[in-house]
Structure 1
Amino acid sequence: MKVRVLGCSGGIGARARTTSFLVDSDILLDAGTGVEDLTVEELAAIDHVFLTHSHLDHICALPLLVDSVGGLRKTPVTVHALPETIEALRTHIFNWVIWPDFTEIPHYDRPWMKFAPLSIDQTVQVGTRSVRSLAATHTVPALAFHVHSRNGSFVFSGDTGPNDEFWRQVNGVEDLRFLIIETAFANRDQDLATTARHLYPIQLGEELAKLRREPQVLITHLKPSDRLTIEREIEAWAGRFSPRVLERGEVLEV
């Protein structure tokens, strides 16, 4: 299983791209601005999109993705998400005001996109890989994901603040190779981070102390304007795991 980092930033600018990971060629975890770097052929190969939550930096490329390649595909793109996320997309994006509803185009019986509701701790089998939804804590209903193949697993936290249930689930993953976890704000902005339910470096260290496995810890979702400060503070506060900041364009082999 190969995981291509299309975007891992908390914002845009200076070639930064927001959150999106391509698993092999057919599974997309979140649909941030990183999707725009794929070719039309690569876009058309995506069969499943798993969304952590409804915020714009994680879903903004989805409408354009479906619009760009829907006519090239024989089956609809399946969007897996919490019911609350699906309702947000129906109400605010695919509403015929902001964008057409591709669950109705070109016909109800032959849509370019379909929704598949997820609940926490639900597993979806996609070929030889499985995607399990984990608990996350954010300002809107949100998920993390555990992706498993025959050779190992990785976990992607999505956007989350402290969450003991998340760590209980992560510690149950025996073959965990990578933990991709967000740290959006610098320590000086910890009040904002707490309100927005994101992590900051001191809190990241506190959360990683709950980890009982030994994966490589990769940090995502840094605000571009504060990236250097956050990187220095992660190094100082993150503890024994020596996390490193994930880079756009990396390919992780699991």
Structure 2
Amino acid sequence: MIIRVLGCSGAIAAGCRTTSFLLDDRVLIDAGTGVGDLPLDQLARIDHILISHSHLDHVLSIGLLADSVMRLRLAQRRGPIVVHALPETLAALRDHIFNGVIWPDFTRLPSVEAPALQFRPIAVGDVLQLAGRRIEVLSAAHTVPAVGFAVDAGGDAGWWVYTGDTGPNPALWRRLATMKVAHLVIETAFGDDERQLAHISRHLCPTALREELAQLGGNVDVHITHIKPGELQAVMAEIAQFDSPHRIHALQAGQQIRIDVPAEAPARQPG
């Protein structure tokens, strides 16, 4: 299983792309500005988009993607790209983006019978089977209805977990305690000097991150995402000050996370 990090920044600047991950070429997890770095033929191979919540930095490429690949996918008879999100998130997309004012309604274009996009509601606890992968919808605690996602790498390889935008979230750690987490992508949007803003906006800062990770068992590769441009060194320096059994790194656009299923050990021969 390969996860490509298309974007992992909390805002835009040169070299900074907002949140988006590509799973095995066919499933997009959030649709930030990093989607635009993919060539057209790769964009056209995306069949599913999982959206964590309705904020612009996570959804703004959905409409642009639909517009870019609509003709090509029709010619290839690929059908609509399916957008999976909470009902509240889908309603926000319909009301505020695909409303004919901000952007055309690609759930009805180029025709009602063969649209470029199809919306499909999900709920926390749902287990989806998409493009050969098992994906569980996780809880998140943000200022709007939000979720995270866990992708099963198969066999005994464990799960790749993405928290989405979230503040402190006990329900998440209760669920992860029952899973073998191989990689955790977790946000830390603010430094400790802005911990009050982090609290109000239901994001994490390094102090809150430390308290959250204390609830995560094992020895996990932890990838920090959603840091604002220009703040990465300061935030990671604060994170480096606390002890953790986990391996903590800053996520980078262009990075690939590969999780391979361990090979079965050969059976012992008698004698």
TM-score strictly above 0.5: yes
Q: Which residue of 1 aligns with 2:108?
A: 104
CA contact (8 A) 1:204 1:238 kept: no
Q: Does 1:146 align with 2:145?
A: no
Structure-2 separation of matches of 1:28 and 1:148: 15
Q: What's the TM-score once normalised by structure 1's chain length?
A: 0.97
Pick aligned residue for 1:92 from 70, 77, 96: 96
Q: Does 1:204 align with 2:228?
A: no
Range with bigger deviation, 118-127 or 26-35: 118-127
Q: Which residue of 1 aligns with 2:251?
A: 246
Structure-1 separation of matches of 2:149 and 2:128: 11
Q: Does 1:193 align with 2:198?
A: yes
Pick aligned residue for 2:171 from 138, 144, 165: 165
Q: What's the TM-score once normalised by structure 2's chain length?
A: 0.91
Detail structure 1 runs of 4+ shifted over 2 Å in the superposition: 237-240
1:46 Cα offset (Å): 0.2
Range with bigger deviation, 187-196 or 209-218: 209-218
Question: Given residue 244 of structure 1, which amino acid in structure 2 is its aligned partner?
Answer: H
Cα offsets for 1:74-115 (capped at 9, x unmatched): 210000000000000000000000101011111111111000
1:149 Cα offset (Å): 2.7
Equivalenced residues, count: 253
* Identity of matched residues, %: 47
1:147 Cα offset (Å): 0.7
Q: Which residue of 1 aligns with 2:85?
A: 81
User: Which residues of structure 1 form unaligned runs of 5+?
Assistant: none
Structure-1 separation of matches of 2:117 and 2:14: 32
1:64 Cα offset (Å): 0.2
* RMSD of aligned residue pairs (Cα, Å): 1.0
Question: Given residue 169 of structure 1, which amino acid in structure 2 is its aligned partner?
Answer: R
- Could you say which structure has the higher helix fraction? 1
Structure-2 separation of matches of 1:244 and 1:238: 14
| 1:147–1:94 Cα change, 3 Å | same
Q: Which residue of 1 aligns with 2:126?
A: 122
Q: Which residue of 2 aligns with 1:6?
A: 6
Q: Give the match's secondary structure for 2:28.
A: strand
CA contact (8 A) 2:26 2:131 kept: no
Larger radius of gyration: 2
CA contact (8 A) 2:177 2:217 kept: yes
CA contact (8 A) 2:219 2:245 kept: no
Q: Does 1:156 align with 2:162?
A: yes
Question: Given residue 236 of structure 1, which amino acid in structure 2 is its aligned partner?
Answer: Q
Q: Which residue of 2 aligns with 1:179?
A: 184
1:238 Cα offset (Å): 5.8
